[in-house]
Chains A and B, each alone.
Chain A
């Protein structure tokens, strides 16, 4: 298993541009998550999905959109990039069973908006 993969690894955007961060997992996990990591702030949940076709907002969803057309893929869309969206973005997925669980993280995408 490749686990959780993300592309691209790095990206520089100009203000107002748009882009899609890709996330794919091959573990047949229903649950998937997008986080952003800012220095000294820990990880904040942007959006999550409990299965194909079902998504919901996390703590910091403004400026982002997601879709989940398949179990494997959970892309994150930035429509009008702003400097405040400069961050490292992590995608994660978790096992389907209930109770305590572990989230598996991708390698991250470092995004700079100038």
Chain B
């Protein structure tokens, strides 16, 4: 079955520290990859997405992610975090099922706390 793994469940950083959140998926076919963010009390919002082309994708608020096909990974990075980045981050992978339906599978999420 298709699955998405986020190994860091909780991350605590100080402001200006660099961030890298891991995401791995279990599927060898064509995938589309997403990172969503959920700020406290809010709904999920798209940070960035990868369809094809340049494997280094830049998103909003200074976030970027790199798709490494050989490692089945799509790690999220930010060079210098801010207190306002405190949120929960979800990696999601779009798989195409045998029925043709395109299913979005989410990782379990990583809670990031940035201390001022």
Q: Which residues of A are interface residues toward B (Cβ below 8 A)?
A: 33, 35, 40-45, 48, 50, 56, 58, 90, 92, 99-103, 105-108
Contacts and interface: CB of A to CB of B under 8 A. Distances in A.
Nearest to B31: A100
B51 A43 contact: no
| Residues of B in contact with A, size category | 20 to 34
Given A56-B101, A100-B49, A100-B94, A105 B44 contact: yes
B46 interface: yes
B11 to A, nearest CB: 14
B35 to A, nearest CB: 11
A103 B101 CA distance: 14
**Binding site secondary structure of chain A:** strand
A100 B95 CA distance: 10
A108 B44 CA distance: 9
A108 B43 contact: yes
A47 to B, nearest CB: 12
A43 B90 contact: yes
Contacts, number: 49
Contacts of A33: 104
A13 B32 CA distance: 38
B22 interface: no
A45 B95 CA distance: 13
A102 B92 CA distance: 11
Contacts of B102: 101
Contact of A41 (B44, B51, B108): B108
Nearest to B90: A42
B91 to A, nearest CB: 9
Given A48-B101, A90-B43, A100-B94, 10 more contacts: A35-B106, A40-B108, A41-B108, A42-B4, A42-B90, A50-B101, A100-B50, A101-B102, A102-B34, A105-B43
